Structure 1
Amino acid sequence: MTTERVIKAKSGWAMLVVNVLIYLISVFGIVWGIIMLATADSAGIEPPVMANIITIGGFVLLFVAILISVGFIALQPGEAKVCLLFGNYIGTIRDSGFFWANPFYSRNLGEQGSDVETSVAALEELSKGSVTKLPAQSNAISTKISVRARTHNGERIKVNDKQGNPIEIATVVVWHVADTAKALFDVDNYLSYVAMQTETALRHVASIYAYDHMEDDDSSNTTITLRSNIEEVSASLREELGRRLSPAGVEVDDARLTHLAYAPEIAPAMLRRQQAEAIIAARKKIVEGAVSMVDMALSELSDGGVVEFDDDRKAAMASNLMVVLCGESEAQPVVNTSSL
């Protein structure tokens, strides 16, 4: 495993002044040497040795100036430059600004994956599974890497929850490169690695939790489910992603579910089950309220001495009140003009 080493680069402005001076001196030397050679040739005399030395020196200085020009680096905020010298990792420049470094530092890692600036559309196609690799025109990983926060919007995937029910689920992950050395050297392509590991982690987390409580009892209220415990599930997803992406030097800032639903083949059945649970819960409330009201009515009538009830009359009164209170349709009153 590779570990990032932060290094400092020389100021590019000072080297720019030196580079411009070398360019001027080289051009002056070349022009002066050519003039001396032309003068000697027109005069029909042997060219002086100094003219040859000045001309050759001018071309040498021009080559040195061009070589120095290759070493200039401009880094924006949120960018880092990984320095490789003939295959050896030297370090990473994380400061933003204009710098000069060894011109022999590598510009890319060769044809191993995609450029770090690959378009968002290509990454989305990769996450969909419609392509197995990124476009061939961007087949070199640049050593200039972005360390800004990025967002991976995963596609909807179908997976079985803990109880075996097929569900559709999707997530959005905010991440950034924390260790540039691991991102470039320990995995082949860290962008596709993030996309694939995000889907794998999402499938794993979805499979260890149930979509919803199957039984409406007190014990089920403490069980974590995908629908009822969004914060706990998101925390579990972040932890799983952090463990899976750490070998690539990637840190997860946030991970949230963006879509959660039953698969179409079982959605109607689950909807009927939820409707049935709602009806049962409503009936339960109605019955509890009706029993309380009947008990209160009988107690008030008996304690106040309004009506004397025996057991049969209490049963009849309770039955009539329960029918009136629990019935779905309005009860038709019957006035008793004889006896209770």
Structure 2
Amino acid sequence: MSTTTSQTPEPERLTHPHRLIRNEATTEIPVHLLFRDDPDPVSVPLAPAIVGRRRGTGEQPRVRQGLSGPVRPRPVPQVDPELVERPARVLPGVAGVLGGACGVAGCVLTSWWAGVLPETARVASGLPASVGAGLGPAQWAAYAGAGALGLFGFGGLTRGRTGGAWVLGLFGRYRGTVRRTGLMWVNPLSRRRRVDVRLRHWRSEPMQAVDTNGVALRIVVLVAWRVKDTARAVLGVEDHEQYLRECVEAALSRVVSRLPADVSPSALVKDATLRNTEAVGESLTRLVAADTAPVGLEVFSAQPTRIEYAPEVAAVMQRRRIAALDAQHRDTVLASVVDSVEDTVTRLTMRGLVELDDYERKALVKDLTVAFCTGRREGSP
């Protein structure tokens, strides 16, 4: 008796397909995100991305966001807005002379009163005989008052010169600027700083710079300037002359880095080089004037007087320049010869002087080219 055994088929096992990439990684995406209906979509600005991938590793591309954002303007130097030049209060020099003379006269009278004035001085001054009261508290007080008056009178005398100014400060505070000339009286307790307000020029030493092609240069700049606001020039910056030099060097570096020192013969724009000193001077003057105006300096011109290659690259750039000129000369000669040959062959054929086939035309062109090139070579210096 045979028994039939029914075998129930086993359910098929769900198997994932084999990964094509061993380090493959997948992420589940929620279904509601695929069919999301947002009434107010939010727009996200996309920055330029740079995709990087390692070869031979099977690694997924990595996205690196580039540097994006608005370019911030260069900050402008700021000085205390309340620090502005204003005239100082001074007196004519006669007032100081009178005050000093009164102090000296007071000392002489006090000495006569105390009886310590020499006899010759008493006779010379025309004073009567002294009563000889002696040096007491009253006499010492009179000496102190007269001496202080004499010191203040003569100690405050000063002389103003044309083209110069005095910046006055009292106990750390700015008290004004004196631009007057001649003899005058200034408070002797105030601190005086002399400033040259004449038109001045400064010729720099050869400063190092690099053009837009990375060629090292040495440039000499001539700057014409003057002090416009003495308060800001003296009190707003530590050393206004050194500040001017640093501003010129920084502006020169910015201007030179935008242009090449020389232009190649095939360039379209011939004037966009550092050899156009007028344009370079205008840009340099504008930048230096903008940087030095907040500290009370007025720059009239900043002109490059000499632009040369650095010693380490001068010989190489000279050979490069000569080679470029030689190539340009050869191109010019070749173009002239070709035009001459073409004109000669065209005239001969159009006037019917010769009838040439292709072979004869090529031979004639070759002979004329050789003849013209030889003649120009012999005629050239």
- Shift in CA distance, 95/326, structure 1 to aligned 2, threshold 3 Å: farther
Deviations 1:232-286 (A, max 9, x none): 1111111221222233221212212133222233323222221122112212221
Q: Is the 8 A contact 1:154 1:199 kept in 2?
A: no
* Match of residue 68 from structure 1: 153
* Match of residue 181 from structure 2: 96
Q: Is the 8 A contact 2:100 2:153 kept in 1?
A: no
Q: Distance in 2 between matches of 1:49 and 1:287?
A: 114
Deviations 1:155-191 (A, max 9, x none): 2233321111222223222222111111122212222
Structure 2 residues without counterparts, runs of 5 or longer: 1-78, 120-130
Structure 1 position 16, deviation (Å): 4.1
TM-score with structure 2 setting the length: 0.67
CA radius of gyration, larger in = 2
Structure 1 position 82, deviation (Å): 1.0
TM-score with structure 1 setting the length: 0.74
* Match of residue 29 from structure 1: 109
Q: Which one of 92, 105, 116 corresponds to residue 12 of structure 1?
A: 92
Q: Distance in 1 between matches of 2:159 and 2:281?
A: 38
What SS does the aligned partner of 1:91 have? strand
Q: Is the 8 A contact 1:176 1:252 kept in 2?
A: yes
Q: Which one of 81, 87, 105 corresponds to residue 166 of structure 2?
A: 81
Q: Distance in 2 between matches of 1:69 and 1:323?
A: 97
Structure 1 position 59, deviation (Å): 4.5
Structure 1 position 20, deviation (Å): 4.9
Quote the RMSD (CA, aligned, Å). 3.1
Structure 1 position 38, deviation (Å): 9.5
* Match of residue 217 from structure 2: 167
Moved more, 265-274 or 4-13: 4-13
- Shift in CA distance, 5/58, structure 1 to aligned 2, threshold 3 Å: same
* Match of residue 117 from structure 1: none
Q: Distance in 1 between matches of 2:312 and 2:118?
A: 90
After the TM superposition, which residues 224-303 of structure 1 pair with which residues of structure 2 at under 5 Å, given as runs? 224-227=272-275, 229-303=276-350
* Match of residue 177 from structure 1: 227
Aligned-residue identity in percent: 27
| Residues 1:151 and 2:198 are matched in the alignment | no
Q: Is the 8 A contact 2:115 2:133 kept in 1?
A: no
- Shift in CA distance, 38/91, structure 1 to aligned 2, threshold 3 Å: closer
- Shift in CA distance, 66/285, structure 1 to aligned 2, threshold 3 Å: same
Structure 1 position 22, deviation (Å): 0.8
* Match of residue 270 from structure 2: 221
Structure 1 position 146, deviation (Å): 0.9
Aligned length: 288
Structure 1 position 208, deviation (Å): 2.1
- Shift in CA distance, 261/37, structure 1 to aligned 2, threshold 3 Å: closer
* Match of residue 354 from structure 2: 307
- Shift in CA distance, 36/225, structure 1 to aligned 2, threshold 3 Å: closer
- Shift in CA distance, 280/56, structure 1 to aligned 2, threshold 3 Å: same
Structure 1 position 57, deviation (Å): 2.5
Which structure has more relative contact order (CA 8 Å, sep 6+)? It is 1
Q: Is the 8 A contact 1:22 1:65 kept in 2?
A: yes
What SS does the aligned partner of 2:214 have? coil
Structure 1 position 103, deviation (Å): 2.1
Q: Is the 8 A contact 1:148 1:177 kept in 2?
A: yes
Q: Distance in 2 between matches of 1:208 and 1:294?
A: 44
* Match of residue 59 from structure 2: none
Structure 1 position 302, deviation (Å): 3.5
| Residues 1:196 and 2:281 are matched in the alignment | no
Moved more, 65-74 or 47-56: 47-56
Structure 2 residue identity aligned to 1:14:
V
Structure 1 position 96, deviation (Å): 2.4
Structure 1 residues without counterparts, runs of 5 or longer: 40-45, 108-142, 332-340
What SS does the aligned partner of 2:270 have? helix
* Match of residue 67 from structure 2: none
Deviations 1:277-316 (A, max 9, x none): 2112212221222223223323443344443334433322
What SS does the aligned partner of 2:225 have? strand
Structure 1 position 230, deviation (Å): 0.6
